[in-house]
């Protein structure tokens, strides 16, 4: 059960993020860029049969959700890092708050911030004509995938930051994930991929499952299996990322 000290620490991290929103705003800006500019530039290819009936906007929308979390995770754990640098972490460490929550609170705050901007993106997407095939269920499904993806990236980013003691190193995870976008079905459906090696790589790429899972929920251009696999894969990676971050807690110098 979450006690009052844990709640206070999570609240503090959220307030800090609201006061210094550079990272989540960067992710949000990047996502809006993908949504609006890509649709305006190459939206015409959405008329091809392989994109289904919902158009290119619904096809490209999942990438905005993915890039949003990537932007947020690049600055993951900024509160934790600031506390480590100022020595305030030591004071928190000396409080009766559970020590795991000192590491978890910033991860939870980063993930919740990503979730909030996902909701904003969904609202903007809906206003621009993104199709949600199953209505509210689709929205909840997209939010679930967004939550798990954000938790995965923020957990790993915080874990790296804790181990190196440097805030800039949090972006290592984002940089590592970035090439995966181009090795998946980000811009084109599988049917239009010509290089067989790329098609083969995309099957081994977890980003493909997140994208296709979202596409099942939006325009229904993919199979439901992709959604279930995406939940399973992200469920496992998010748990692993939190374990990775928590296992680094002992390395924080107090």
Partner 1 sequence: MRLLYFCHPIILIMISEIIIGNVCKKYPNGIEALKDVSLEIFKGQFFTLLGPNGAGKSTLVRILTTLARKDSGHFLIAGLDPETDYRKIQKLIGVALQDNEIDPAGTVENLLIFQARLFGISAKDATQKAGVLIELFELGNECRKKAGELSGGNKRRLHCALALVHKPQVLFLDEPTVGMDPLARANFWEIITQMNQTENVTVFLTTQYLEEADRYASNMALINEGKICYNGTIAGFKKMVNPDRTLSLDDAYLKYIKTNHRQ
Q: Provide the binding-site residues for partner 1, judged by CB under 8 A.
A: 4-5, 8-9, 12, 16, 19, 82-83, 86-98, 254
CB atoms within 10 A of CB 50: 14
Q: Identify which of 72, 176, 156, 177 has the alpha carbon closest to the alpha carbon of residue 117.
A: 72
Toward partner 1, which CB reaches closer, 92 or 130?
92
Helix ranges (H only) for 165-223 are: 171-182, 196-204, 206-218
Task: State which residue, 192 or 254, has the beta carbon closest to partner 1.
Answer: 254
d(CA 30, CA 64): 8
Among all chains, which residue has been given the structure tokens 């009936």?
53
Residue whose CB is less far from partner 1, 19 or 196: 19
Q: Which is closer to partner 1, CB of 5 or CB of 193?
A: 5
**How far is CA 151 from each of CA 44, 108, 250, rounded to the nearest angstrom?**
34, 8, 21
Return the number of the residue (82 or 249) whose C-beta is nearest partner 1: 82
State the Cα–Cα distance between residues 102 and 92, nearest whole angstrom: 8
Residue appearing with tokens 């997140």:
210
DSSP class per residue in 88-138? HHHHHHTSSS-HHHHHHHHHHHHHHHHHHHHHHHHHHHHHHT---TTTHHH
Q: How far is the CB of 246 from partner 1 (least distance, A)?
A: 17
Give CA–CA dist 244/159, Å, rounded.
Answer: 6
Shorter beta-carbon distance to partner 1: residue 83 or 212: 83
Rounded to the nearest 10 degrees, the angle between the axes of helix 22-33 and helix 99-128 is 30
Least CB distance to partner 1 at residue 195 (A) = 50
Angle at 136 between CA 135 and CA 140, to 5 degrees: 125
Given the complex with partner 1, which of 8 and 25 has the nearer CB atom? 8
Question: Smallest distance, Å, CB 103 to partner 1?
Answer: 16
């Amino acid at each position: 059960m979450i006690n009052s000290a844990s709640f206070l620490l999570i609240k503090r991290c959220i307030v800090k993020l609201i006061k210094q929103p550079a990272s989540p705003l960067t992710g949000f800006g990047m996502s809006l860029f993908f949504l609006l500019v890509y649709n305006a530039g190459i939206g015409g290819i959405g008329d091809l049969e392989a994109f289904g009936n919902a158009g290119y906007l619904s096809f490209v929308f999942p990438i905005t959700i993915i890039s949003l979390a990537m932007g947020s995770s690049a600055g993951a754990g900024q509160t934790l890092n600031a506390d480590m640098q100022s020595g305030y972490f030591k004071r928190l460490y000396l409080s009766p708050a559970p020590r795991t929550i000192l590491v978890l609170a910033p991860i939870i705050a980063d993930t919740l911030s990503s979730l909030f901007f996902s909701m904003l993106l969904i609202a903007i997407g809906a206003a621009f004509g993104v199709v949600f095939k199953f209505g509210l269920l689709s929205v909840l499904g997209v939010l679930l995938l967004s939550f798990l993806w954000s938790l995965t990236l923020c957990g790993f980013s915080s874990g790296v930051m804790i181990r190196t003691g440097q805030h800039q190193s949090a972006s290592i995870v984002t940089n590592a994930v970035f090439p995966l976008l181009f090795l998946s079905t980000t811009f084109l459906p599988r049917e239009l991929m010509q290089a067989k090696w790329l098609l083969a790589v995309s099957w081994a790429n977890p980003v493909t499952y997140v994208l296709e899972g979202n596409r099942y929920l939006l325009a229904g251009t993919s199979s439901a299996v992709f959604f279930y696999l995406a939940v399973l894969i992200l469920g496992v990676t998010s748990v692993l990322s939190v374990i990775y971050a928590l296992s680094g807690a002992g390395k924080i110098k107090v």
